[in-house]
């Protein structure tokens, strides 16, 4: 009822000023453009957040061939003989188990800890491998006075990646020894 009365009064001479957005860049158009860009930005950010929460891309260490080398290194640092042996499979594991039984678990644990003590840094490289079969992982062990390179052969098993072979260490020529002061170069 009230709306009808207002219409009649306005029809009789009362004119309302209606502001419409103009193409020439009036304030209404600028506000609409700001609002539209805000809505688009918030929508995109919301979609990105939703997608990352619902589709997390996690790299499972079981899928990475070098994960077993890092597990072996951690087992050596801790002196964990069982975890160390668990990194190997096949004939190599049998030979290591024989060494452990001959030396004893405690002495072998000490040996594992001592083996990594002089190492300053470790770098792993994965040459392009084949789709199936064993993969080579090259480890560079950096000591204070030298660097040694060793190749580990790993294979995917039911339990994950396992070391199946190890080549002898080879010296790596180093132009600047580890720990050389920068001023000395």
Residue 61 has pLDDT above 70, yes or no: no
**Average pLDDT score over residue span 75-99:** 96
Q: What is the pLDDT of residues 91-146, one digit of tens each?
A: 999 999 999 999 999 999 999 999 999 999 999 998 766 556 789 999 999 998 88
- Residue 140, strand partner residues: 123, 149
Using an 8 Å Cβ cutoff, are 142 and 120 in contact? yes
The domain segmentation of the chain, as residue ranges, is 61-173
DSSP state of 162: E
Q: d(Cα 152, Cα 60) in Å, to the nearest integer? A: 20
Handedness of CA 62, 64, 68, 71 (dihedral sign): negative
Contacts of 155 (CB under 8 A, 6+ apart): 89, 133, 134, 135, 161, 162, 164
pLDDT of residue 8: 53
DSSP state of 169: P
pLDDT of residue 25: 54
Q: For 23, phi and psi rounded to 5 degrees? A: -75, -25
CATH number given to 61-173? 3.10.450.50
């Amino acid at each position: 009822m009230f709306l009808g009365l207002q219409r009649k009064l306005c029809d009789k001479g009362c004119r309302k000023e209606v502001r419409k957005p103009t193409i020439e860049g009036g304030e209404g158009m600028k506000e609409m453009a700001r609002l539209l860009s805000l809505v688009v930005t918030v929508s995109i950010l919301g979609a990105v957040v939703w997608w990352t929460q619902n589709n997390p891309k996690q790299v499972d260490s079981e899928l990475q061939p070098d994960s077993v080398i890092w597990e072996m290194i951690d087992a050596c640092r801790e002196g964990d003989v069982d975890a160390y042996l668990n990194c190997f499979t096949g004939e190599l594991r049998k030979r290591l188990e024989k060494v452990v039984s001959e030396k004893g678990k405690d002495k072998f644990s000490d040996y594992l800890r001592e083996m990594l003590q002089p190492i300053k840094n470790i770098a792993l490289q994965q040459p392009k491998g084949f789709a199936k079969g064993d993969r080579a992982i090259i480890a560079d062990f950096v000591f204070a006075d030298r660097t040694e390179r060793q190749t580990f052969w790993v294979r995917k098993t039911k339990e994950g990646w396992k070391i199946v072979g190890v080549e002898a260490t080879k010296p790596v020529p180093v132009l600047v020894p580890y720990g050389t002061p920068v001023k000395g170069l």
